[in-house]
Amino acid sequence: MKKYEPQQEEILSAGIDIGTSTTKLVISKFSLMNMAGGAHMPRIEIIDKKVLYRSPIFRTPLLSATTIDMKAVDELVKKEYQSAGVETKDIQTGAVIITGETATKQNAQEMVHHLSDQAGDFLVAAAGPDLEGIIAAKGSGAYEYSKKTGKTIANIDIGGGTANVAVFKSGKLCGTCTLHIGGRLIEFSGNQIKSISSPIKALFRQWGDPFSGMREGDSRNRQEIKSLTGFMAAVIARMLNRELLPADQPLLLGHEPDWQEAIDAIMFSGGISECLYHYEAGTPATAHYDDIGEILAASLRESKELAQWQWIHPDETVRATVLGAGTQTTEISGATIHVEASDLPIRNLPVFQVPFRHDVKDGLKRMHESVQQALEIYDSQRDGQNFALYITELPYLGFRDVQELAAAILDAIRIKPNPEQPLVLVLESDHAKVLGQTIKVQKPNQRIICIDQIKVEHGDYIDIGHLLQTNVVPVVIKTLTFHH
């Protein structure tokens, strides 16, 4: 009798992060194996992962204050692929992420799509600030720390233009917040101030003299700069306590802090964290900052307000986001699913979790709000980026409950800019087939893909492959995390 040999495969993943100040790249290798026996349904798992190559940290190439230099980024990526000894065709998965203020450049979307076409078979995320905070927390080690300890930790990822905060407790996302706090909000040239960003100018106008009189061309040694970075540290502390003042509003980007939990510990990642911890000793791009980065790092260190929390050292500083761009696992969903083969495969779909907390009425009430939040995070420009709703903690569902759930979902998705696109539902429990069929009865022309028995998380991305002969679909979960 022939001995069963488990199927094995290796795939290469690339992560490219184009940030406000710096651009970097990593190449990783993942070993996959079918862990099920020969006669069983395939169960592919990642059994090993290894970073093969970390690029140097480059200054992000810009043509102007509002435009990314696409040609220079292209050249940089090609050169780094050569250094890593890989070709475009070798890369099967990964992420191109445009972060911080770079995501607001005129050609940001064009850049990310262009690069994903040129650089391999990519997951593409022009990360908005909420998503960016989640990715950084997974790359820095904060997410893993919360899982191991059960504590509530805030990861504060501070780069050139923004501080992206994500709070996790026991591996679950509690909330996010983004602030206009970063190293390049004031830049220097020689001994003079070269530029002051608009959020800082708004703050200075609010403060009046002598701040409102600060101009480009003034001395870089003005005492007011230290006052500003001290204020930034205090604003971070107030944000962590969910006690932002009206005077802090010029530094708030988007929504107020939206978690309920008290924070036990904090972790810093991003370029400013590198100023705190110096993990990248000898890296030319981080050796000399012509901005307020070092002054801001000193203010964080000296802050009495921030000393109220335990500080946890990150696994990664400036590379947290790029290492956050990885593939975690492939799963199979089958037996109880409802899919339309013509809509498959679907790639790179972000997942938004809708927990029912074992209460049907409670979950139904929050369905509208959940779809609205998913739109804010994943389709903030309202250009039709689709997403999957991941419905968890469902109680036992009777016939009427399934009908009400189907109706609530159909009603909630009417606010999507492109309601004709397939409705993608991922269920924790075995309700996919009955829910999919019920939605089809209620709205026959609704395209629907409803799968279950898949464990995903808020902020993950999924690929759903072609329907196989055994009536199962392969689901690739891109967890945007990197475990060491």
* pLDDT at residue number 38: 52
* Residues paired with residue 173 on neighbouring β-strands, in sequence order: 168
Task: Output the 3-class SS for the chain.
Answer: CCCCCCCEEEEEEEEEEECCCEEEEEEEEEEEEECCCCCCCCCEEEEEEEEEEECCCEECCEEECCEECHHHHHHHHHHHHHHHCCCHHHEEEEEEEECHHHHHCCCHHHHHHHHHHHCCCCEEECCCHHHHHHHHHHHHCHHHHHHHHCCEEEEEEECCCCEEEEEEECCEEEEEEEECCCHHHEEEECCEEEEECHHHHHHHHHHCCCHHHCCCCCECCCHHHHHHHHHHHHHHHHHHCCCCCHHHHHHECCCCCCCCCCCCEEEEECHHHHHHHCCCCCCHHHHCCCECHHHHHHHHHHCCCHHHCEECCCCCCCCHHHHCCCCCEEEEEECCCECCHHHCCEEEEEEEEEECCCCHHHHHHCHHHHHHHHHHHHCCCCCCCCCEEEEECCCCCCHHHHHHHHHHHHHHHHHCCCCCCCEEEEECCCCHHHHHHHHHHHCCCCCEEEEECCCCCCCCEEEECCCCCCCEEEEEEECCCCCC
Q: What is the mean pLDDT of residues 4-20?
A: 71
Q: Is the peptide bond before 419 cis (omega within 30 degrees of 0)?
A: no
> CA-CA distance, 144 to 123, in Å (whole number)?
22
Contact 123, 95 (CB under 8 A): yes
Q: Which of 329, 337, 330 is nearest to 470 (CA)?
A: 337
Confidence class for position 342, pLDDT limits 50, 70, 90: confident
> CA-CA distance, 242 to 262, in Å (whole number)?
9
**Cβ-count burial 293-326 (b if 16+ within 10 Å, e if not):** bebbbbbbeebeebeebeebebbbbbbbbbbbbb
* pLDDT at residue number 405: 94
The residues, any chain, with a CB within 8 Å of residue 92's CB and separated by 6 or more, are 11, 12, 13, 120, 121
Q: What is the mean pLDDT of residues 415-434?
A: 86
> CA-CA distance, 349 to 383, in Å (whole number)?
14
Lowest mean pLDDT, pick from 40-49, 267-276, 434-443: 40-49
* pLDDT at residue number 347: 75
Which is more confidently placed, 200 or 453? 200
- pLDDT tens digits for 230-269? 999 999 999 999 999 999 999 999 899 999 999 999 999 9
Q: What is the mean pLDDT of residues 169-196?
A: 93
Residue type, 61: P
Lowest mean pLDDT, pick from 108-122, 200-214, 392-406: 108-122
Lowest mean pLDDT, pick from 22-31, 98-107, 122-131: 122-131
Confidence class for position 282, pLDDT limits 50, 70, 90: low
> CA-CA distance, 358 to 352, in Å (whole number)?
18
The pLDDT > 70 percentage for the chain reads 83
* pLDDT at residue number 483: 27
Beta carbons within 10 angstroms of residue 480's beta carbon: 30
* pLDDT at residue number 466: 66
* pLDDT at residue number 411: 94
* pLDDT at residue number 428: 82
Q: What is the mean pLDDT of residues 196-208?
A: 94
* pLDDT at residue number 125: 56
Contact 405, 435 (CB under 8 A): yes
- 229-233, 382-386, 422-426, range with greatest mean pLDDT: 229-233
Q: What is the mean pLDDT of residues 263-285?
A: 85
* pLDDT at residue number 118: 76
- 112-126, 396-410, 464-478, range with greatest mean pLDDT: 396-410
Lowest mean pLDDT, pick from 239-253, 341-355, 431-445: 341-355
Say if pTM beats, i.e. exceeds, 0.85.
no
* pLDDT at residue number 321: 74
> CA-CA distance, 448 to 438, in Å (whole number)?
11
Contact 23, 29 (CB under 8 A): no
Question: Could you give the C-alpha distances from 329 to 30, 45, 326, 457, 466, in angstroms and in order?
Answer: 10, 6, 10, 12, 17
Which is more confidently placed, 484 or 88? 88
On average, the pLDDT of the chain sits at 83
- pLDDT tens digits for 40-70? 444 555 667 788 999 999 999 999 888 989 9
Q: What is the mean pLDDT of residues 437-448?
A: 93
* pLDDT at residue number 245: 97
Which is more confidently placed, 376 or 264? 264
> CA-CA distance, 94 to 478, in Å (whole number)?
8
Q: How many residues does the structure list for the chain?
A: 484
Confidence class for position 380, pLDDT limits 50, 70, 90: confident
Kindly tell me if the per-residue pLDDT of 473 is higher than 70. no
Kindly tell me if the per-residue pLDDT of 334 is higher than 60. no
Which is more confidently placed, 339 or 402? 402
